[in-house]
Amino acid sequence: MFLPSLIIAFLVSLIATPLTIFIYKKLNILDDPKKQKHPKVVHKYPVPRGGGIPVFLGIAVVSLIFLPLDKHLIGIFLGAAVILIIGVLDDKFDLNPYIRLFAGFLAAAFVVGAGIGIPFITNPLNGIIHLNQPQIPIFLFGKTRTIWVLADLFAFFWITWCMNFVNWSKGLDGQLPGIVVIAALTIGILSLRFSADITQWPVVVLALAVTGAYLGFLPFNFYPQKIMPGYGGGALAGYFLAVLSILASCKVGTLMMVLGLPLADAFLVVARRVYKGKSPVWGDTRHLHHKLLQIGWRKPKIAFFYWGITAILGFLALKLKALGKIYTIMIISFLLGGFLLWLKLFTTSLSRPGRDSGLKI
């Protein structure tokens, strides 16, 4: 069941991606840099942005085959469907970021409404911190249901935050799917350690489905890209990783560590935007991958750099305890902040590379 989950998701995504490219080109739904004047655009030729479609199909097919259609799975895929629809609309109409943000909140609400929350987190000093109080009972649809206020709020904002910062890591060819493959596989391996507990089997299946779906998408997104993840592919990545981190016995800290590089980058970018009085959700060219382009790194090198750091952190996440994970995240943030400060102070004369490939100029 586990290996077939990965293989089927991989094959569905591998087949669906070129079909998506064909349909988007036929419908002329392309991201044309000649029409996109935003400075964050770094490609030179028109590319479709429909990456959410093949990865959604890959994950959905595996889930329908191997997972029970209970309220949790229904809630997860209702939220995923919202992201997919908004992603397709964004591919065509380039929606306002606040519309996408609202869609993210709605998707997270479906998950929380299905009863998926974060009842506890590991205390890095000792024991655990319970989030199952206070509880508010409500009578709805003929049944008494309970809202776990802190657990539900934490899950709600955690899912939305993951959707955004993971989505921001799709700026260059191949950057996003490699990160997602490693992160999902790490969660799958952690859950597989507890395979004696049958409640973890669905988590392993879903984690391997996400791994396979993005692995099947990767060959078409790697340099030179034939399709981009778009909002659908980027937000779905963060969405499913966040949900997996909750289902896998609340491995929120593990996911934070594995995604330490894009997470630290996102924190620094948001802090800078807020400090300068700008919207935290409006894109710019201050992400780490943009800075690496500016100093002459090629796009494949940047993608391999992100994959390599994520793989190292994934390996460490399998070994370290909670306190070690927190220290690692703090070290990554400190090093990244120092590196970006160095770039600002000593590389102001560097010119921005051409949009085609990020080659040195």
Indicate whether 222 belongs to any domain.
yes
Identity of the amino acid at 187 = I
Indicate whether 280 belongs to any domain.
no
How many domains does the chain contain in total?
1
Question: Which uninterrupted H or E stretch holds 4?
Answer: helix 2-26
Indicate whether 228 belongs to any domain.
yes
Between the alpha carbon of residue 88 and those of residues 53, 152, 158, 210, 232, the distances in Å are: 8, 28, 24, 19, 7
Indicate whether 207 belongs to any domain.
yes
Indicate whether 258 belongs to any domain.
no
Tell me which residue range forms the domain holding 59: 2-249
- Each of the 361 residues of the chain gets a pLDDT tens digit; together they read 799 999 999 999 999 999 999 999 999 999 988 777 665 667 779 999 999 999 999 999 999 999 999 999 999 999 999 999 999 999 999 999 999 999 999 999 999 999 999 988 877 777 788 888 888 887 665 676 678 899 999 999 999 999 999 999 998 999 999 999 999 999 999 998 876 677 789 999 999 999 999 999 999 999 999 999 999 999 999 999 999 999 997 688 899 999 999 998 999 889 888 988 888 888 778 889 988 998 889 999 999 999 999 999 999 988 887 778 888 888 888 888 888 778 766 655 444 444 444 443 2
Indicate whether 327 belongs to any domain.
no
pTM as predicted: 0.92
CA 258 from chain centre, in angstroms, equals 12
Indicate whether 273 belongs to any domain.
no
CA distance 276 to 104: 25
Indicate whether 262 belongs to any domain.
no
